[in-house]
């Protein structure tokens, strides 16, 4: 009788243990599913590969990294594998290697920053079909690649107006990095803005052939200033840093010298408070955050081009330097032209061919 009671008691204990174990296992599975699927904030990871300009180029790559950091911080992510990070490219040969490294580290989305990475993104996207990629300033026609383009000409037009209304010599300069569709949009828009605001002004256009040669940018700027140019716009990445150095050096030697610069991609007023007139802001940071957010929410625009212009707050003219005598007039002109562009009344030329037939209204 006692053995029966003991046996029954043991059976009940074992049964209860089995039920509790099953419940615990069920809860554990549910927890894992939540971490993997329900809590997308914790699971999503994103990274970027810079072009040769580097992450601290004070321009294009830096803007992209600032956007990625903002996205990571806003979503409670940690810097590093499994969160958000970047790899820097020292040469063109690093592009494919860096993209492939991040894809193999299982980042959910990998950005290639700059049109020079088009070939590499296309190559790795075809190899890693189950991964999502995005490229800035170029189009890759693969279903797992989101292409990001900007209407650089619209921001350039506005700073062209500012340059035309600031120059005393009617001689303005433009320094381009590498000849490409992107830089052609910058040049075309800038020259159109100058033409619209001051038909008497001329624009000296020179290309450095590189985005990472500050010394070359300084040399070009020096020759331009010496020839009578008093406002220079550089759309040349880190090469443009040389323009700022030249302007600051001249201002230091002669505080009364009229030497203005115009920055690009981000508000570059920090490159010289006495020499930076304004900047053609290209919100690469906004685009990176936007595409990353869409990917995280399951709305990744793979195989599509997302275009950012004035109407999408993707480009803009940075504030005008407070020391400019006709600051208020320039600001009013920029606002008027902005309204015309946004409404469609004015279409800013994005190519040199379109520039030839452009008429200011």
| CATH number for the domain harbouring residue 123 | 3.40.50.2300
For the chain, residues with pLDDT lower than 70 are 1-42
Crossing angle of the two packed helices 152-166 and 181-197, in degrees rounded to 10? 40
Per-residue pLDDT, 3:
41
Q: Yes or no: say if 63 and 283 are a contact pair by the CB < 8 Å rule.
A: yes
DSSP secondary structure code for residue 237 in this structure: G
* Max CA distance (Å), the chain: 115
Distance CA 327, CA 106 (A): 50
Task: Tell me the pTM.
Answer: 0.82
- Taking CA atoms, 140 is separated from 152, 304, 348, in Å, by 19, 9, 25
Q: 68 and 58 share a domain?
A: yes
Where does residue 212 rank: exposed (0-12), middle (13-18), buried (19+ CB within 10 A)?
buried
Q: 162 and 145 share a domain?
A: no
14 located within any domain:
no
* Residue recorded with tokens 């990571």: 72
Q: 159 and 121 share a domain?
A: no
Q: 146 and 159 share a domain?
A: no
Q: 196 and 49 share a domain?
A: no
Q: 220 and 341 share a domain?
A: yes
Closest CA to 176 of 244, 241, 234: 234
Domain that holds residue 195: 152-281+325-356
Per-residue pLDDT, 361:
75
Overall domain count for the chain: 2
Q: 110 and 61 share a domain?
A: yes
Per-residue pLDDT, 60:
86
Q: 220 and 77 share a domain?
A: no
Q: 52 and 177 share a domain?
A: no
Per-residue pLDDT, 6:
41
122 located within any domain:
yes
Per-residue pLDDT, 270:
96
Q: 124 and 248 share a domain?
A: no
Q: 74 and 157 share a domain?
A: no
């Amino acid at each position: 009788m006692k053995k029966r009671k003991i046996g029954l008691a043991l059976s009940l204990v074992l049964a209860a243990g089995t039920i509790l174990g099953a419940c615990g296992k069920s809860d554990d599975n549910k927890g894992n599913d939540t971490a993997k699927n329900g809590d997308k904030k914790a699971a999503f990871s994103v990274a970027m590969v810079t072009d040769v300009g580097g992450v601290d180029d004070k321009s294009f790559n830096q803007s992209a990294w600032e956007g990625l950091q903002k996205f990571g911080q806003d979503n409670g992510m940690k810097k590093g594998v499994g969160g958000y990070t970047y790899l820097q490219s020292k040469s063109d040969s690093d592009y494919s290697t860096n993209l492939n490294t991040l894809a193999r580290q299982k980042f959910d989305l990998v950005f290639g920053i700059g049109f020079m990475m088009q070939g590499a993104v296309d190559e790795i996207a075809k190899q890693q079909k189950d991964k999502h990629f995005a490229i800035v300033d170029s189009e890759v026609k693969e279903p797992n690649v989101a292409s990001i383009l900007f209407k650089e000409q619209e921001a350039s037009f506005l700073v062209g107006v500012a340059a035309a209304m600031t120059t005393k010599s009617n001689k303005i300069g433009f320094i381009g990095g590498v000849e490409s569709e992107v830089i052609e949009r910058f040049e075309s828009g800038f020259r159109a803005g100058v033409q619209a605001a001051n038909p008497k002004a001329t624009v000296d256009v020179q290309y450095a052939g590189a985005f990472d040669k500050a010394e070359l940018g300084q040399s070009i700027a020096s020759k331009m200033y010496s020839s009578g140019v008093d406002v220079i716009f550089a759309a040349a990445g880190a090469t443009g840093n040389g323009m700022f150095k030249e302007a600051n050096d001249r201002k230091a030697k002669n505080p009364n010298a009229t030497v203005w610069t115009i920055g690009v991609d981000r508000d570059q007023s920090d490159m010289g408070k006495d020499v930076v007139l304004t900047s053609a802001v290209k919100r690469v940071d906004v685009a990176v955050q936007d595409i990353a957010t869409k990917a995280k929410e399951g709305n990744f625009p793979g195989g599509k081009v997302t275009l950012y212009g004035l109407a999408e707050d993707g480009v803009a003219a940075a504030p005008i330097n407070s020391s400019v005598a006709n600051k208020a007039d320039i600001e009013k002109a920029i606002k008027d032209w902005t309204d015309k562009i946004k409404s469609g009344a004015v279409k800013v030329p994005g190519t040199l061919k379109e520039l030839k037939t452009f008429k200011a209204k």
